Structure 1
Amino acid sequence: MAGLQVHSVLVTGANRGIGLGLVQHFLGMPTPPQWVFAACRAPTGQRAQGLHHLASKHRNLVIIPLEVTDLASIKAAAAQVGEHLGGSGLNLLINNAGILKCNLLDKETLEDMTHVYTTNTIGPLLMCQVFLPLLKKAAQASPGSALSCSRAAIINISSQGGSISSPDGWDLMQIVSYRCSKAALNMLTKCQSLRYKEDGVLCTALQPGWVQTDMGSCAGHTPPVTVDESVRGMLKVLSSLSEKDTGTFLDWEGNVVPW
C-alpha cells in the first residue's frame, strides 16, 4: 500500500460495508489523501452515522450526497467535489455503490432487473462520464507518467458473480439480475479502458471477495472474508496497478478473474 499516493479519492456507497471500509482505510494511511470524498444516497440518515463520526475526526473527509441513478445528483456531486479541489483534479474514482435482489431466475422481474442494472451498471457509466473532466485534470498534472491509481483511475467494484465462465455460488444464490449487471459492468470497464487510456486514466474492475456485509449475507450464509481483509487486499492491489492492468478484471488478492 505504500506505493498508493493519491491527492484525492471519491468512494460511492460509502456509508456502510466495503465503501465505509475503504474510507476508513484511506483516512488511516500514513500519508492520507488531502481529500476523501464519501458519497452516499442518504448522508443524513441513520446508516451514515459512521461517516459522520469519521468526519468529526478527519477534516479531509467530505460527505457528498449522491444518487448514482440520478444524473442531476451526479452533476451536483461533481460540482461540489470540484469546488473543494479548486484547480486540481480527482485522482481516484471508486464506483462501489451497488444493490442486490435475492431472486431466483423464475422469480426475476422487469422492475427488479431494471433497478439493479440501473444502479450497478448505468450508475458507474454516468459517474465516469460526469467526473471525467476532473479525472483528466489529475492525469494532465502528471504528463508523461504511466497509468496508475496515483495519477488517475476508475475502479469499478465488480463481483465473482459477474464472471460468465466461472459461475461460482449458483447453488447458494442465483441473484440473476445482480450477476447480469456485474457482467455488464465488466464490459463497461473494458470499454472505458479503451476510451479513457488516451486521457491518461486507468480503468479496472475489482472483485472484493465474498465479504461479510449486509449484501454479502443476504442469503443467510456467512461470507468468509471480512471487510477489513477485503479492503486491505484491494488497496494493496490498487497500489500495484499499472498500464498492463487497465481493462482487466482482478480480485482483491490481485488474481485475474475469468471474464
Structure 2
Amino acid sequence: MAALARSVLVTGSNRGIGLELVRQLAASPQPPQHIFATCRDPDGPRGKALRELSAQHPSIRLVQLDTVDLPSIRRAVQVVESCLEGQGLNLLINNAGIGSHATLQTVDSQEMLAAFATNVVGPLQVTKEFLPLLEKAAKGAQKTGLSCSRAAIVNVSSKVGSIGLCLRVLEAPMYPYRASKVRGWGRRWGPWRGAHGTPPPTPGHPSPAWSSKGEHAERQPRLCPCSTAGQSPFPTSTALQLQNVPLPPTRTQLPEPSVVLAWPCLFQAAQNMVTRCLAAELRDKGILCTAIHPGWVKTDMGTEQAPMTVERSVQGILAVLGSLSQETSGAFLDWEGNSLPW
C-alpha cells in the first residue's frame, strides 16, 4: 500500500489521538518521509512520550508550535520548510484543541473568546500560515484530483458540534465548544456524559475543573470524549495578534468545578463551517479539506468510560484519510468513513 503522504504535520501530538496518529504513521509499512509532530512544549515533561517515540523513528521531527501564538506558528513554518528542502507539505492535521463545560448560567465572554481562539482561530491561523507549503505540494504533485497524498487539510472535529445532531444531546449544551466546532469538548464529568449514555456525575464528585490536555495541565480545560488531543488552551498577549480581545481568566479567576459545566460545542460548529469554507476556496488549488470525528476514545480526556481505544480510532481515521478524494472534500466524516450532518 502506498504511503498516505510524503509529509504530514500533526498539531497537539504529545498525547492522546495526536500522539497515536504520529505513532501509527511512523510504524506503517510505508511511512511518510517527514512526520512533523508539534506541540507547545516538546522539550518539557509532557513531551516525554513524544520524544521517546521520535527516538525510535528518524522520520519524526519534533516542532514547537503553539496554535494560538502567531510567532510560534511562523517559526514552525520556517522549520518545516527547511526540512522539506523545496518541496511542499502534503497533509496538515489540525488536531489540537481545548474544551470547557460552561452552561447558559455560567458561561462568560472570556471563556467563549478563549475557546474560539484555540478551537477556531488557531486551526485557521495554522492553515493560513502553512498554506503556501500546501499549495507548493499540490502544484508539484504528479497527479490530478484531490487526495491526502497530493495536498490536504484535515480538521479533527466532533459530532457534538453538529447542528443536525444537537437536539439529540440536549443534556450537553456546551455553548463555547459547540460554537467553536460547529467541533466538540467538555469536562470529564460534565453533562455530556449523560448525552453519551453514561451516568451523570454525582453531587460532590471530586471532579477537577481543569486537567491535563496537551502539556499544560494547570491551564487546560478537560475535553469531552468526542474531542481531540491538543495544547495551548488560552491565547497569550501576542496570540494571533488579535486586537481588543480580552485574555481568558487565570486559574485563580475561574469558577469552582461545580459550575464549570458544558458550553464548548458552539465552537465545534464554527470550526466545521471553517472546514466547509476552506474546502470550497481551496478545491481549485488542488487542496482537499475535510473534518473527521474520531469517536469517543479511551484517553485521559475521554476517560475509561469511553467505548473505543485510541488505537482503534486512529486506525479508522488513517483508513478514512487514505480513501479521501474530490468527492469527499468538504465532507464531515467519522472514523469509519460515515457521513455526518453538519
TM-score range, shorter chain: over 0.9
Q: Which amino acid aligns with 1:214?
A: D
Partners of 1:140 and 1:120 lie apart in 2 by 29
Match of 1:253 in 2: 336
Q: Within the alignment, does 1:229 sit opposite 2:323 as a pair?
A: no
Q: Which amino acid aligns with 2:308?
A: V
Question: Aligned-pair RMSD on alpha carbons?
Answer: 1.3
Partners of 2:280 and 2:52 lie apart in 1 by 39
Q: CA offsets per residue over residues 140-172 of structure 1, 9 Å max, x none?
A: 11255110011100000110111011024442x
Deviation at 1:13, TM superposition (A): 0.3
Which range moves more in the overlay, 77-86 or 2-11? 2-11
Q: Work out the percentage of aligned pairs sharing the same amino acid.
A: 48
Which range moves more in the overlay, 128-137 or 98-107? 98-107
Partners of 2:335 and 2:94 lie apart in 1 by 15
Partners of 1:216 and 1:108 lie apart in 2 by 22
Match of 2:154 in 1: 155
Partners of 2:85 and 2:149 lie apart in 1 by 18
Summarize the Cα distance change of 1:4–1:176 in structure 2 as closer, same or farther, 3 Å threshold. farther
Match of 1:112 in 2: 111
TM-score (norm 1): 0.94
Structure 1 runs of 4+ with >6 Å offset:
none
Which range moves more in the overlay, 44-53 or 100-109? 100-109
Partners of 2:308 and 2:112 lie apart in 1 by 27
Partners of 1:175 and 1:212 lie apart in 2 by 21
Within 5 Å, which residues of 2 pair with 1:121-132? 121-132=120-131
Deviation at 1:3, TM superposition (A): 5.0
Deviation at 1:4, TM superposition (A): 4.6
Q: Secondary structure at the match of 1:82?
A: helix
Partners of 1:169 and 1:51 lie apart in 2 by 35
How many residues in Structure 1 have an aligned counterpart in Structure 2? Answer: 254
Partners of 2:170 and 2:58 lie apart in 1 by 44
Deviation at 1:105, TM superposition (A): 2.7
Match of 1:213 in 2: 299
TM-score (norm 2): 0.72
Within 5 Å, which residues of 2 pair with 1:1-259? 2=1, 4-167=3-166, 168-171=168-171, 173-183=172-182, 184-217=270-303, 222-259=305-342
Larger radius of gyration: 2
Summarize the Cα distance change of 1:109–1:230 in structure 2 as closer, same or farther, 3 Å threshold. same
Say whether the 8 Å CA contact 1:9–1:93 is kept in structure 2. Answer: yes
Say whether the 8 Å CA contact 2:143–2:150 is kept in structure 1. Answer: no
Say whether the 8 Å CA contact 1:11–1:96 is kept in structure 2. Answer: yes
Q: Which amino acid aligns with 2:71?
A: A
Summarize the Cα distance change of 1:242–1:4 in structure 2 as closer, same or farther, 3 Å threshold. farther
Q: Secondary structure at the match of 1:13?
A: coil
Q: Which amino acid aligns with 1:190?
A: R
Q: CA offsets per residue over residues 60-107 of structure 1, 9 Å max, x none?
A: 111111111111111110010000001111000000000011222321
Structure with larger RCO (C-alpha < 8 A, sep 6+): 2
Q: CA offsets per residue over residues 108-138 of structure 1, 9 Å max, x none?
A: 1211111111111101111111101100111
